[in-house]
Amino acid sequence: MTRPALALLAMLLLAACASEDGAVTATETVAAAPVEFWVRAEGELKAAKATPLRVPGQNFARRQLVWMLPDGSPVKKGDLVARFEAAQSKLQLDKALLDLQRNALARASKEGELEVGLDRVEVELAQAESALAIARRYARADFEALARNVVLDAVEDEEFLQEKTGVLRWRQDQSAQRGEAELDVLGVQRNTLEADAANKRGDLDALELRAPHDGIFMLAISWSGELPRIGEQMWASTEFANLPDIDALEVELRLPQQEAQGLALGQKVELAPLGHPGQQAVGEVTWVASAPRAVSRQNPAKFVSAKASVPAEAAKRHGWVPGQAFTGRVILLSAPEALTVPNVALSGEGDQAFVTVLDGGEPVRRPVELGKRGPARTQVLSGLAAGERVLLAADAPAANDEAGAAP
């Protein structure tokens, strides 16, 4: 919409032109004048950059919130913002330590069992080697010194003892290898239990949440649409709050679809907190949604979202914090001199716009090139000249029929 003063400066002259049949047609004389198109919007101050603050601990660990700062509190780097308890992690740590003790006992028992088994094999092997030495001595004895049957028995005993000695040495090697493998399994189990215990200790040592940098402590809304509460159970690693960067703030605006047609990047926006018009700052449009959308299922009206930058110096001077409601005046067009026509005087076919002008008292349909479009008026770049009279289309259907197609 345009201001009343600017509407007067635009030299809007409505004349009553009587046609042959006595009908009255409303017209406006085009004049170059200072012009400003703007639309008003409302929105919320948000941070363009924010550091998420997550519940400390490993995944699938439960935490209970026991203390936190009030929502919206300013914090410095290293300040404590929340404290948690982890009863489940403490129980899991106790269980991991108990399993470590059991593993140590199992290892000691296995080492003792292996040592006894190896000692038994070594005793049998020593006996067999001793008997083999005796058998070998008899086997090399002179047949004349001993009876023949004694020598044959000694030779037979030597072959048997050689086989027995080989078997005992094989059992000794197998027992040692099997024992090492079983001890390796217990060692792997011990490493796993130690890693689990270390994780649980880390969970218990990380029950305090501190600010990584300066900012404003803002609680995050959960999937259920609620803010965190004292005593609430939370999963570790889930987002609990965020720390907006107060040096990078922006206002997310919302405009009715019909009023946002001329919205574009780079346009100036006069911003002020709702209820504090004196705290004004000037930003610019940095983002415009590609399509309008309804606010809720209960409200079918569609709005266009846009974002406007906020000067960091103004935010610090006035103490603005994310979450504040803001109003904005988006300047669609500001020119010291321009030609404009009422929106009701425009018609179109495809991408081509037309106006109906009086030429020698006769209505003529003429194509025009348009510039910025405001809620009530539109800038004309070419196709019209100052002093020409434009018919208001809503009041002159007959004139349009007589004009026919564009020349």
> Among the ranges 1-5, 141-145, 364-368, which has the highest mean pLDDT value?
364-368
Q: Which residue carries 């690693």 as its tokens?
A: 237
Q: Note whether 326 and 273 are within 8 A (CB).
A: yes
Q: Note whether 158 and 135 are within 8 A (CB).
A: yes
d(Cα 271, Cα 274) in Å, to the nearest integer?
9
What average pLDDT does this structure show over 239-261?
A: 89
d(Cα 17, Cα 5) in Å, to the nearest integer?
26
Band of residue 72 on the pLDDT scale cut at 50, 70, 90: confident
Strand 233-235 relative to strand 50-54, pairing: unpaired
Whether 11 shows a pLDDT value over 60: the answer reads no
Q: What was the pLDDT predicted at 150?
A: 57
d(Cα 367, Cα 353) in Å, to the nearest integer?
6
In terms of Cα–Cα distance, which of 382, 379, 378 is closest to 367? 382
Band of residue 170 on the pLDDT scale cut at 50, 70, 90: confident
Q: What was the pLDDT predicted at 152?
A: 55
More confident residue, 291 or 2: 291
Q: What was the pLDDT predicted at 400?
A: 42
Counting Cα atoms < 13 Å in the Cβ hemisphere of 158 gives 14
| Residue 70 structure tokens | 């009030």
d(Cα 327, Cα 133) in Å, to the nearest integer?
108
What average pLDDT does this structure show over 138-147?
A: 57
| Residue 317 structure tokens | 């001077």
Q: Note whether 33 and 10 are within 8 A (CB).
A: yes
Q: What was the pLDDT predicted at 125?
A: 73
Q: Note whether 209 and 82 are within 8 A (CB).
A: yes
Q: Note whether 305 and 294 are within 8 A (CB).
A: no
Write down all domains in the chain, each with its CATH number in brackets.
Answer: 4-47+250-403 (2.40.30.170), 50-86+207-244 (2.40.50.100), 89-205 (1.10.287)
The 3 state secondary structure assigned to 203-267 is HHHCCEEECCCCEEEEECCCCCCCCCCCCCEEECCCEEEEEECCCCEEEEEEEEHHHHCCCCCCC
- Percent of the chain whose pLDDT exceeds 90: 32
Lowest mean pLDDT of 134-138, 231-235, 240-244, 398-402, name the range: 398-402
Q: In whole angstroms, what separates CA 262 from the centre of its chain? A: 31
Mean pLDDT of the chain: 80
d(Cα 376, Cα 1) in Å, to the nearest integer?
5
Whether 129 shows a pLDDT value over 90: the answer reads no
Lowest mean pLDDT of 31-45, 144-158, 178-192, name the range: 144-158
In terms of Cα–Cα distance, which of 312, 334, 315 is closest to 267? 334
